[in-house]
Amino acid sequence: MGIGFVLLFWAVIGTILSGIALLIFGGATAFFTRGVPRGRRRAIIATSLFPFACFAWAAFIFVFQALVNEGVLHRDPGLGDAWHCPLPNGYQILLIDVTDYGSVYNPKTQISPDGVGEQEDAVFGVRLLQIAGPYIVGAVDEGKPPDVRSKKIDSYFILDARTGKRTTLTDYDSLARAAGQLDIHLGLEPIERVYSRYRFSWFDVFAGVLFCGPILIAFLFLVRWVVRLRQTRARSLASLSNSPICSSRH
């Protein structure tokens, strides 16, 4: 499922949810401001449009963070069928369609800009992974493509990120011996867990604050506006009850 289809799906969902929120916000404002002499209509319009403004702001923030993540931080935008992120040693993780296996490669040595080519410093079908200083340790499902229904491991590898040299090992005991010679304490993890650890950065926190901050401020402003309108209604009712005409009727 490409990113275009995903964006279209969320555009439809966002429009539907915004429409539902429009009815809720507008109806609630109309209910709480009934009887207000002035400003009621503008408040109803503003609160009704607020969900669509939030949706538009969310779209803007998504585009902004996608451009920064892809163009500057070399991370995926968070939607689509391909996810990638850099590792501390200059290599990259790439997951396509599924997250339980993927590729580890050096983007600087790849010739084709459209994909990852097979070479010594590019490993495909990686299910388990560990970053140990300059070394990348992993377990590989050598199926073409790997079977997503199984968790089988066909071989292991130790990749030196400094030289790009890969050592392939047939079983875990051989991996343990080779890792011991390099003073590596084995701690293999599912590749999606390693991806999650390095995918999210300070910028994602900043983008989240940038998204939530203005929306929260605008929401509090609208609530304050409705409350003040309701207070004018209470004052208007009080002044009417104290007017000479109302007093004479009593």
Residue 117 confidence (pLDDT): 87
145 cis-preceded (ω within 30 degrees of 0): yes
pLDDT for 234 equals: 60
Of 93, 142, 88, 141, the closest CA to residue 116 belongs to 93
Backbone angles phi, psi at 127, to 5 degrees: -105, -40
Token pair 């080779």: residue:
178
What average pLDDT values come out for the chain (250 residues) when binned by 10 residues? 79 95 95 86 95 96 95 91 93 92 93 82 95 96 70 92 95 96 95 95 95 97 93 62 50
How many other CB atoms are found less than 10 A from the CB of residue 29?
A: 24
pLDDT for the residue numbered 170: 94
What is the spatial distance between Cα 86 and Cα 147, in angstroms, rounded to a whole number? 25
Three-class SS state of 88 = coil
What CA–CA distance (Å, rounded) separates 196 from 201?
Answer: 10
Q: How far apart are CA 246 and CA 243, in angstroms?
A: 5
pLDDT at 5: 82
Within 8 A by CB and 6+ apart from 147, the residues are: 141
Q: How far apart are CA 62 and CA 77, in angstroms?
A: 8
Q: Rounded distance, CA 184 to CA 131, Å?
A: 10
Strand runs labelled E in the chain? 82-86, 92-96, 102-105, 122-132, 135-140, 155-160, 166-169, 189-190
Specify which residues 82 forms β-bridges with.
96
State the pTM of this model.
Answer: 0.81
Q: How far apart are the first and last CA of the chain?
A: 72
Task: Give residue 39's region: left, alpha or beta (phi > 0; psi -120 to 50).
Answer: left
Q: Parse the chain into domains and list their residue ranges.
A: 3-73+203-235, 82-199
